């Protein structure tokens, strides 16, 4: 899929007619946004958790009725095929090995594609400063030599910027949560790694109420349930969805609240007392 920065016009409808399959590395809009243009006969592959998270997101977008998302988008997404981390699958004579990678989208993958004695590695978007980044150099070593490397980047041109690692950010979050009674965290609903950073920072400083809206809670409950076989780091069992019964406790003892730039958040931040609960 082309990135939004791409200067080359790619006609997905036209080129997908000749495809055996489409591999999606992760659910960010510049990678999955044009899936409705892919020919209906062509199977689309994505990680299992990525598909389910994207499904909750797309359903939410459909319900808000402010986007183009309709039931047709949901139906096509239902047809996406999934795979297991690290378990190869075949498309025609090609062997595809999905390798889980570190990125701000949860359940992102690199693809090692092998056919006719040639090996291609498509890295997708990835970083080396996140929660699961430690495994990336090892994974690349295991992959060994490839004939072609397809790599994407958004920060290679920003050489003079200093980036915080997810762990540095978590330390900063500990200080912020400790020194402020009411903490609003503005964060994309699907950036599970970032939410986990704040969630664990909050646990370190006494576990204030960690609040979000019902949509975000649905996403976090899914991630908790589907991640148990791999790790307990994404167990968000203490997250509460915002409702009246916590209001007094929130005001008295403080809280951390996940917010996004939407009507609910704006109303709460600017006028918390009058909000209807
Ligand atoms: Zn991305």
How many A from CA of 90 to the centre of ligand 1? 25
Mean pLDDT (whole number) for 188-199: 95
> What is the spatial distance between Cα 199 and Cα 61, in angstroms, rounded to a whole number?
25
Quick one: which of 160, 163, 97, 105 has its CA closest to 129? 163
How many A from CA of 106 to the centre of ligand 1? 10
How many A from CA of 78 to the centre of ligand 1? 21
Cα–Cα separations (whole angstroms), residue 153 to 66, 86, 125, 166: 30, 23, 7, 19
Tens digit of each residue's pLDDT (9 = 90 or more) over 27-78: 999 899 999 999 999 999 999 999 999 999 999 999 887 789 999 999 999 9
The DSSP line for 135-200 is: HHHHHHHHH---SEEE---SSTT-TT-----HHHHHHHHHHHHHH-SEEEEE--TT-HHHHHHHHH
How many A from CA of 152 to the centre of ligand 1? 9
CB 220 within 8 A of CB 236: yes
> What is the spatial distance between Cα 58 and Cα 35, in angstroms, rounded to a whole number?
12
Query: Above 70 in pLDDT, residue 276?
Result: no
pTM (two decimals): 0.87
- Look up residue 195 and give its two tokens: 């939410």
Quick one: which of 97, 102, 101, 100 has its CA closest to 87? 97
How many A from CA of 103 to the centre of ligand 1? 7
Q: Please report which confidence band the pLDDT of residue 218 belongs to, taking 50, 70 and 90 as the band edges.
A: very high
Cα–Cα separations (whole angstroms), residue 179 to 172, 174, 202, 205: 11, 9, 12, 10
Q: Please report which confidence band the pLDDT of residue 270 belongs to, taking 50, 70 and 90 as the band edges.
A: low
């Amino acid at each position: 899929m082309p990135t939004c920065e791409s200067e080359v016009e790619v006609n997905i409808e036209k080129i997908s007619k000749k495809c055996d399959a489409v591999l999606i590395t992760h659910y960010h809009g510049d990678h999955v946004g044009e899936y409705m243009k892919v020919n209906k006969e062509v199977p689309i592959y994505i990680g299992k958790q990525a598909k389910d998270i994207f499904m909750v997101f797309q359903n939410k977008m459909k319900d808000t009725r402010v986007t183009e998302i309709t039931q047709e988008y949901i139906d096509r997404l239902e047809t996406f095929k999934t795979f297991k981390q690290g378990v190869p699958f075949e498309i025609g004579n090609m062997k595809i090995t999905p390798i889980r990678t570190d990125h701000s989208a949860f359940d992102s993958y690199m693809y090692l594609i092998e056919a006719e004695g040639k090996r291609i590695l498509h890295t997708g978007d990835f970083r080396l400063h996140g929660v699961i980044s430690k495994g990336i150099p090892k994974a690349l070593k295991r992959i060994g030599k490839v004939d072609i490397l397809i790599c994407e980047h958004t920060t290679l041109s920003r050489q003079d910027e200093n980036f915080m690692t997810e762990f540095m950010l978590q330390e900063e979050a500990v200080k912020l949560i400790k020194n402020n009674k009411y903490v609003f965290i503005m964060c994309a609903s699907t950036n599970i790694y970032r939410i986990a950073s704040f969630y664990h920072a909050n646990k370190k400083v006494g576990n204030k109420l960690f609040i979000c809206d019902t949509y975000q809670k649905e996403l976090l409950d899914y991630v908790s349930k589907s991640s148990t076989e791999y790790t307990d780091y994404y167990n968000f069992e203490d997250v509460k969805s915002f409702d009246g019964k916590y209001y007094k406790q929130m005001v008295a003892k403080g809280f951390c609240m996940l917010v996004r730039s939407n009507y609910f958040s704006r109303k709460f931040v600017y006028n918390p007392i009058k909000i209807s609960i």
